[in-house]
Amino acid sequence: MDFVIKFAQAHESFRVAEIQALAVIEGVDLEVLEYRDDSPFCIARLPSAGDAHRLIRRSILAQSVHELWGTGATFDALHQSVTERTSKIWADYKSVSFKFIIDSYQGAHSNSERLSIINTFDYLPFEGPIRRLVGKSSRETVLKFDLKKRGYISTTSMDSELSLITANIALAGPGKLFYDPFVGTGSFPIACACFGAMAWGSDIDGRSMRGEGGTKSLRGNFQQYDIEQRLGDVFAADLMNSPISKNKRIWDGIVCDPPYGVREGLRVLGLKDPEKTPWLIEQGKKNASSPDFVPPKKPYSFLAMLDDILAFAAATLVDNGRLSFWMPTANDEDQEIPVPTHPSLEVVVVCVQKFNKWSRRLITYSRLSDEKVSAAAVAVYHSRKTVSTVGSTVDDLNPFRRGYFKKFET
């Protein structure tokens, strides 16, 4: 059966990626027949109306789905298509109530024009309304989780719409374990928990998670939405110094928005020059267990961070588990940062949110099973030069930050 999916007028490059991910989650056989970014309508083939309903019931970007009865470049062609495709089932809808709605795109019709168009369908032998709406999406969920209504946020909290879309594309769902290693105030774990996953998180700065305590904290956000039972736990750590064993593949999904290092340089736990400050090492050994202890940090390369995210995901994701993370880059091809790769991870989709001279990508990978990982690719990966620190300033360590403050001039 063919259906029309109507999308919201937002985040065009994310639309198909989201419904394809939902097809995986729901176990629905989906074929996209026609779609363009400049149109809110997508024609898709699905086994049944029930499958169509299941496909979009938790979608954020789809608004509704309808059975497709006909198409045409002109009204005459449209009526011919409707007759040829559906005349055999008209009798089934003879006494069913119906309603016509003219939904215009890139144009408008007056009330008299709308009525005139509707009257051209008077050959349909319906005595009551025919409503071919199959199902609605979960787009209203965006309002429920709106940051303006959330008790605790920061300047870097990801907005609810993109958080929910990310959770969908990463296949968050009941019975799954999801983790955010840059958790902040919890936008991504909240979105994953909304769809039934058990959420975990960590951050190099424990203060961002603790907040002021009570309702003004990450845990308070979970309490606000009555999903605290789906919060596994959060802890202070960075990606390179994590208590999570890299010998156990436990996560069904990893979702995150790593720091871009624009406001301040990227940092990782450790000392820039341990030999010059041995007393800090001793101080850390004595005070590490104290709740007031703030561990020292050293500069961190942006490219090394991207590399470390993929390595961590490859070591801890289950087979077919997904990594979805946001990465900024310049729009200029000469300054564009390539999509990072790893032999154990297959790129599923890259969605782009464009700004003026830069964009941020949502890059989604799937963890390959070990038997599908190319031994040659692994050998090349391990023989390459390690992504290392080059230079000592925050701009030296971060090509995106350097370009950002130079307004990405070539």
Q: What mean pLDDT is predicted for residues 321-325?
A: 98
Question: pLDDT digit string (tens) for 76-129?
Answer: 999 999 999 999 999 988 888 888 888 888 888 899 998 999 999 999 888 765
Do residues 118 and 100 lie in contact, with contact meaning Cβ atoms separated by under 8 Å?
Answer: yes
Average pLDDT estimate for 205-224? 93
**pLDDT per position as a tens digit, 5-35:** 999 999 999 999 999 999 999 999 999 999 9
Report which of 352, 340, 331 is spatially closest to residue 400, judged by C-alpha positions: 331
* Confidence category of residue 270, pLDDT binned at 50, 70, 90: confident
Q: Is the pLDDT of residue 134 over 90?
A: no
Return the CATH number of 140-266+301-407, one of 3.30.930.10, 3.40.50.150, 3.40.640.10, 3.40.50.720: 3.40.50.150
Q: What is the pLDDT of residue 127?
A: 79
CA distance 172 to 300: 30
Looking at the chain, the domain(s) classified CATH 3.40.50.150 span 140-266+301-407
Bigger pLDDT: 273 vs 177? 177
- SS3 sequence of the chain: CEEEEEECCCCHHHHHHHHHHHHHHHCCCCEEEEECCCCCEEEEECCCHHHHHHHHCCCCCEEEEEECCCCCCCHHHHHHHHHHHHHHHHHHHCCCCCCCCCCCCCCCCCHHHHHHHHHCCCCCCCCCCCCCEEEECCCCHHHHCCHHHCCCCCCCCCCHHHHHHHHHHCCCCCCCEEEECCCCCCHHHHHHHHCCCEEEEEECCHHHHHCCECCECHHHHHHHCCCHHHEEEEEECECCECCCCCCCCCEEEEEECCCCCCCCCCEEECCCCHHHCHHHHHHHHHHCCCCCCCCCEEECCHHHHHHHHHHHHHHHEEEEEEEEEEEEEECCCCCCCCCCCECCEEEEEEEEEECCCEEEEEEEEEECCHHHCCHHHHHHHHHCCCCCCCCCCCCCCCHHHHHHHCCCCC
Mean model confidence pLDDT for the chain: 91
pLDDT exceeds 60 at position 398: yes
